[in-house]
A and B are shown apart, each in its own frame.
Chain A
């Protein structure tokens, strides 16, 4: 049986993990450190009442993503110029794409930064966080078909970008046969 100290420590670790993942999601949404910090603070305030993070971490995380996304959408709704005052910082992604033929590619980071935040969020949730379509649609408050369209448009845009840069063939050679279970 786990001691009180162990339980407390486990709970704290889970909490820390959630905070880090929330911060990354905030960076994905805002592409700006200052905005991401403010968004995390606002989201965290709403979650502060939930003390037992050790219970079902997945549910907490999805709920936290959902709140963060809703906050960001509300902020964009009331202040559409927020991203003009706090400009996107693609460098946040440049250092974080360490593998593959596009590692450190500033243009690719810029391409990601220039996507709409809803599209970036949908793609990150599915391919970064590994959520199911259902969970990602719940976070973005979209019905399933709209969510799938958002993902498909992201794929099409990326394919066109790779073609335009002449990177398609290079990518095919460098990353063979990596796929999800279909």
Chain B
């Protein structure tokens, strides 16, 4: 963990890390001179920024009255498109009688259509009664919470394999990925390590899933197709064991631990996928 990025150290001094992560960085900074020096440097700029912008934020500022006057003719209208100057032919004083006749004709046709249609609906008489509503039908908008693995597998199917494969210059910053994972799941989680299986974590991305944020962790291998792990909060779901699911050509293993939903997917056979899921689960134990 000695390769800490400036971003991660900044999150530390700004108090944005989980307590456990923060304690780890404190401990590391006390032992490592280089990290301690970088932290001190960031604290110095942080102090300056808090003083400067804090003073600016606290300062009494009189809002100019003109800032709240909505006079369309006032000064420069910086946030509106300037009206294009009318040409002489477009000026109201120069409207041709022929144009007026055309406008009246269009209005008459429109009014005829409206009233004609209404009259026709009256003449056609009573409408046939509508079929009775099917009260047994489940409301379509209510999806059961258990459908989340299928949702995510469907979402995952939109990622072609080449987009999950790292390019040579891909930047993997495990600390930032870890920070983001902890923010999203509200737990001090570390992405699982599959290096013994030949996979290395190379990218973390965040997405929206309904009301929640979801983290997508992609693992690359030199010989195998990529693996993808999704993690998202599950405030109201109880813990559940690993469940394998096959949706089209996608296989996945999903489970819930400590109010976090996980779904591991990749082009693997079911046994291998389950084994990897068990390994991931064992590396992210439930807090007592």
Q: Do A and B bind each other?
A: yes
Give the B-binding residues of A (Cβ under 8 A).
19-21, 23-24, 27-28, 33-42, 44-45, 71, 75, 82, 86, 93, 96-100, 102, 108, 112, 123-124, 126-130, 132-134, 143-145, 148-149, 151-152, 154-156, 158-159, 162, 168, 171-172, 175, 178-182
B206 near A143 with CB under 8 A, answer: yes
A40, A158, A180: the one contacting B68 at CB < 8 Å is A40
- Complex Cα spacing A35 to B11, Å: 33
Q: Are B44 and A172 in contact (CB under 8 A)?
A: yes
Query: How many residues of B are in contact with the other chain, CB < 8 A?
Result: 52
B1-31 contacts to A (CB < 8 Å): 5-7, 10-17, 22, 25-26
- Assess A155 versus B45: contact at CB under 8 Å? Given A44-B68, A93-B56, A97-B56: yes
Interface pair B67/A175, CB less than 8 Å apart: no
**19 additional A-B residue pairs with CB within 8 Å, beyond A96-B59, A127-B54:** A20-B60, A38-B78, A39-B79, A41-B79, A44-B67, A86-B78, A93-B52, A96-B55, A127-B53, A128-B56, A134-B183, A152-B6, A155-B10, A155-B46, A155-B49, A175-B47, A178-B50, A179-B13, A182-B26
In the assembled complex, how far is the CB of residue A69 from the closest CB belonging to chain B, in whole angstroms? 14
Distance A39 CA – B67 CA, assembled complex (angstroms): 8
Residues of B contacting A130 in the complex (Cβ-Cβ under 8 angstroms):
57
Within 8 A of A (CB), among B64-79: 64, 66-70, 75-79
Given A38-B76, A123-B53, A128-B54; A23-B10 close (CB under 8 Å) = no
Specify which chain A residues have a CB less than 8 angstroms from the CB of B77 in the assembled complex. 38
Residues of A within 8 Å of B75, CB to CB, are 34
**Distance (Å) between the CB of B238 and the closest chain A CB?**
27
Question: Is the Cβ of B48 less than 8 Å from the Cβ of A162?
Answer: yes
A-B contact count (CB 8 A): 162
Contact in complex: A180, B13 (CB < 8 Å): yes
Tell me, yes or no, whether B61 is within 8 Å of chain A by CB. Answer: yes
Report the minimal beta-carbon distance from B204 to chain A, rounded to whole angstroms.
8
Main secondary structure of the interface of A (DSSP, over half): helix
Smallest distance from the beta carbon of A181 to chain B beta carbons, Å? 4
Q: How far is the CA of A99 from the CA of B55 in the complex (A)?
A: 8
B239 interface residue (CB < 8 Å to A)? no
Task: Give bound CA distance, A169 to B7, whole Å.
Answer: 24
Chain B residues near A168 (CB-CB < 8 A): 44
Interchain CB contact (< 8 A) of B57 among A24, A39, A102, A162: A24
> Bound complex: CA of A20 vs CA of B59, how far in Å?
10
In the complex, chain B residues whose CB is within 8 Å of the CB of A97: 51-52, 55-56
Which chain A residue has the least Cβ–Cβ distance from B49?
A127
Contact with A along B112-129 (1 / 0, CB 8 A): 000000000000000000
Output the least CB separation between B206 and chain A (Å).
Answer: 6
Nearest 7 A/B pairs, CB to CB: A128-B53, A128-B57, A38-B78, A148-B7, A37-B67, A42-B79, A127-B49
Contact across chains for A159 and B78 when beta carbons are under 8 A apart: no
A82 and B45 in contact, given A21-B57, A96-B59, A99-B51 (Cβ under 8 angstroms): no
Residues of chain A contacted by B176 (CB below 8 angstroms): 145, 148
Interface residues of B (CB under 8 A from A): 5-7, 10-17, 22, 25-26, 41-57, 59-61, 63-64, 66-70, 75-79, 173, 176, 179-180, 183, 206
The distance in angstroms between the C-alpha atoms of A86 and B79, with both chains bound, is 13
> How far apart sit A168 and B40, CA to CA, in the bound complex (Å)?
11
> What's the Cα separation between A82 and B176 when bound, in Å?
35
Closest residue of chain B to A160 (Cβ to Cβ) is: B45
Bound complex: CA A128 to CA B48 (Å): 11
Tell me whether A19 and B63 are in contact in the complex, defined as CB-CB below 8 angstroms, given that A97-B52, A152-B6, A162-B48 are known contacts: yes
Which of A34, A36, A127, A168 has the largest count of B CB atoms less than 10 A from its CB?
A127
Q: How far is the CA of A96 from the CA of B55 in the complex (A)?
A: 6
C-alpha gap A178/B59 in the complex (Å):
20
Smallest CB gap from A74: residue in B: B79
Q: Which residue of B lies closest to A45 (CB)?
A: B70
Q: Closest A-chain residue to B50, C-beta based?
A: A127
Docked CA distance A171–B43 (Å): 11
Assess the A158–B48 pair: CB atoms within 8 A. yes
Residue of B nearest to A176 (CB): B47
Task: Tell which of A40, A145, A158 touches B49, judged by Cβ atoms closer than 8 Å.
Answer: A158
